[in-house]
Structure 1
């Protein structure tokens, strides 16, 4: 019995050593309750994010496909780096979670939302049905800056920085195409204003050096040492 218990302890230590970086995902226990609380403010006053450019962008229900693919895109990339490269995983988590926290702070201090969702017929086709389902659970508030856009950019940056994935250019290109489609989807589905998208891109440009500059600096020093 003591021998069996000793083996179990050794196995547990190995698992912790190998997968201890799972602690980063505990951020969900901060993000989900905070975001859920903000989503309950639908009946409270908020600043409307709306520009003339938004009115020029037509509603296209087909974009629900890349919009929903965002969930798999982010989850699959996190899982890939979790199991294959701990450093890339930490950098991606740092990038995503920093921006997501800033977005929650912005929405808490500056309540915001949109006012241009069109009336749609959920029986028209499967895409309209999916959009109607999305809108039924996702009110048009807490939109600036767009987390959909920010996280898509962050995931693609991680893919581009991966030494392993660089060996598979088709994957990198596919990631870039999906990132662009997701960003467009937020506007063509009337989920976000152009302002929300621009805000997310600006935030990504600010957070990028924080998450990835140390890596680039380390690589530069290593290359110049030879």
Structure 2
């Protein structure tokens, strides 16, 4: 009975894990989009600024760090603050869903990746492995950029992370390096990055700014005694 009670208490405490079911929607949809690469026309994304950005293989480190960064920070909010977790996950889920819709009805891709490399090192080998496993399609807006900045925003607004300024500042640095990595690795166009920031600005107003306005309005209401 004691074990049962503990399991029930654990379920009650972390029942907000149900939102992770979203990935049973996202992953099959994204996999379908990736696999249809050769079956239809893709619109090429390109900005004149892309031609001035050099390829720098060392940015593969922050690019791959994205996966750990996302997992650690999402789980941090999951275990520390249910309200902040729900806000962040809603932000991420809305952005990723909009990305899927755009990719579905506006198939897009890049022709930015280098075919030859000036250097031969482990970082170049890692980039080659990335290119082999990831198609240069479905890039608008950049999910790497969108999710990283969303995490940074959540860290900025987090009440608990205010007590840990070094950790919060580290989130900003990591997010910034990930944003840069998408362009220096030729995984994304400047256009993809700008589109991600536009989407962030829109969804910020929908999720966070609207809450702030409601909170401010509540604070201004006269107290009736």
**Length-normalised TM-score, structure 2:** 0.92
Aligned mate of 2:131, from 131, 135, 143:
135
163-172 or 73-82, larger mean C-alpha shift: 163-172
The count of residues paired between Structure 1 and Structure 2 equals 221
Aligned mate of 1:40, from 35, 43, 48:
35
Q: By how many angstroms is 1:218 displaced?
A: 4.8
Q: What is the root-mean-square deviation of aligned Cα atoms in Å? A: 1.8
The yes-or-no answer on 1:116 pairing with 2:103 is no
**1:164-218 deviations in whole A, cap 9, x for unaligned?**
1012222222111111111111011000011100000000000112221343235
The match for 1:24 is: 19
Q: By how many angstroms is 1:16 displaced?
A: 1.8
Q: By how many angstroms is 1:123 displaced?
A: 8.1
Aligned mate of 2:157, from 128, 153, 161:
161
User: Is the CA contact (8 Å cut-off) linking 1:122 and 1:128 kept in structure 2?
Assistant: no
Mapped partners of 1:9, 1:221: distance in 2: 44
Secondary structure, counterpart of 1:140 in structure 2: coil
Moved over 4 A (4+): 221-226
The yes-or-no answer on 1:213 pairing with 2:209 is yes
Mapped partners of 1:117, 1:41: distance in 2: 20
Q: 1:76 to 1:103 in 2, by over 3 A?
A: same
11-20 or 52-61, larger mean C-alpha shift: 11-20
List runs of 5+ in structure 1 lacking aligned partners: none
